[in-house]
Amino acid sequence: MPINITMPALSPTMEEGNLAKWLVKEGDKVSSGDVLCEIETDKATMEVESVDEGIVAKLVVAAGTEGVKVNALIAILAAEGEDVVTAAAGGGAAPAAKVEAKVETPKEEAKPVTDKAPAASTPAPVAADGSRTFSSPLARRLAKEAGIDLAAVSGTGPHGRVVKKDIESAVAGGGAKPAAATSASTAAAPAPAMPKGASEEAVLKNFADGSYELVPHDGMRKTIAKRLQESKQTIPHFYVSVDCELDALLALRAQVNASAPEKDGKPAYKISVNDMVIKALALALRDVPDANVSWTDTNMVKHKHADVGVAVSIPGGLITPIIRSAETKSLSAISNEMKDLGARAKSRKLKPEEYQGGTTAVSNMGMMGVKNFAAVVNPPHATILAIGAGEERVVVKKGQMVVANVMTVTLSTDHRAVDGALGAELLGAFKRYIENPMGMLV
């Protein structure tokens, strides 16, 4: 009997992916554990392994195909002793074979607010610009019954997800647009996505023909745009800045790096200022636990560990790999883990659990010469710390002007969860660790 290979779900929220590359061809024999293909999500590229043995009878989806739905048929295997031609012709009705990514699919995070829904659910809606509106099954059913376009509803659930009460509010307020019928031809070729409030036609009319080119948004850029827009529209941001002197930290860093043992002819670690920033923020959150939180409509989620995300620039956008329980790890462990995560982030090889979640984040533009800036909170986080460049400045100490290395840091907070006084307390704790760095070694 033919064995169907389907598009796997590589994360709890994944609904479609891009089939980037086939690593087998028709006629190849595959065994359990052999890598079949590479699948791209909006943040990572992952290899998919076969569970069954057989011969590749047919590659149903071509390499480079975008927007392949989860559980859609992508290939057919002929079982042992089965005719390949017959298997290729008869595939599609046979039970689907399991396919696995080389990484484990992370479990759905526990959420304080949930919707109970029937097992069967309607697909998540697609907005006019091709982006997805994430919603609970119950919310989708209620929206369909009420004739509401989910793309017009602002979600208040985790990660901006549309939940039951959002639909109820939309029905009560009468503000949501009715779902419009879309013709097959229109759905097949959507117009290039543009930010809300700025149509492509309105933008391009100001420029002469031939003076520009249109570059379609990829999945990563769409996701970044959607999440940042939701963050600024739904999270009341509050900002606190402070200057930190770096001389003691730089001296300790040099001393620690100089004492690093040799491993294979190279130092076992090389700690960066950013590694020490990660550790200092994690310890500050340990010391000020009321700031290590996430906001939901019904509960304040108080985290037991400081899982610090670190913004890493990659082609086409950025990703935030996470140092889990950073308050418990040594500087050398944080340094080596960050180097590994950063390298795999740039090659889009991170596992979903390595960049999803977290309790806070660091965005460091100091190496680019940026003196100070304010970052956008990345939900479900309630805080993010923006790091400016360290530079020599004149400061006053005991009535005397002296030169010191100083960096400006700005804490952005979700004011619903971390108010001004609490944010100032957290930033004060961070400053103490930066200016008295021996405390990070205890």
DSSP string, 41-59: -SS-EEEEEESS-EEEEEE
Q: Which bin fits 317, alpha (ψ -120 to 50), beta or left (φ > 0)?
A: left
Place of tokens 């071509």: 62
Query: pLDDT tens-digit profile of 317-372?
Result: 889 999 999 999 999 999 999 999 999 998 888 888 899 899 999 999 999 999 99
What is the C-alpha to C-alpha distance for residues 30 and 55, in angstroms, rounded to an integer? 6
What is the C-alpha to C-alpha distance for residues 372 and 376, in angstroms, rounded to an integer? 14
What is the average pLDDT value for the chain, to the nearest integer? 82
Q: Which CATH architecture has domain 3-101?
A: Beta Barrel (2.40)
pLDDT band with cut points at 50, 70 and 90 for residue 184: very low
The candidate with the shortest Cα–Cα distance to 102, out of 344, 343, 351, is 351
The candidate with the shortest Cα–Cα distance to 63, out of 38, 99, 43, is 38
- pLDDT for 100 equals 53
The helices-and-strands tally (H runs, E runs) of the chain is 10, 23
Query: What share of the chain has pLDDT > 90, as a percent?
Result: 48
Distance of CA 60 to the CA centre of its chain: 30
What is the C-alpha to C-alpha distance for residues 159 and 274, in angstroms, rounded to an integer? 27
Residues of the chain with CATH 2.40.50.100: 3-101
217 is catalytic: no
Topology of 235-441 in CATH?
Answer: Chloramphenicol Acetyltransferase (3.30.559)
Contact indicator for 88, 37 with CB cutoff of 8 Å: no
- pLDDT for 243 equals 97
Residues of the chain with CATH 3.30.559.10: 235-441
What is the C-alpha to C-alpha distance for residues 141 and 209, in angstroms, rounded to an integer? 45
What is the C-alpha to C-alpha distance for residues 405 and 391, in angstroms, rounded to an integer? 5
The candidate with the shortest Cα–Cα distance to 237, out of 419, 413, 416, is 413
Query: pLDDT tens-digit profile of 143-178?
Result: 777 777 777 787 776 556 677 777 877 777 665 544
Could you say which of 303, 305, 381, 415 is catalytic? 415
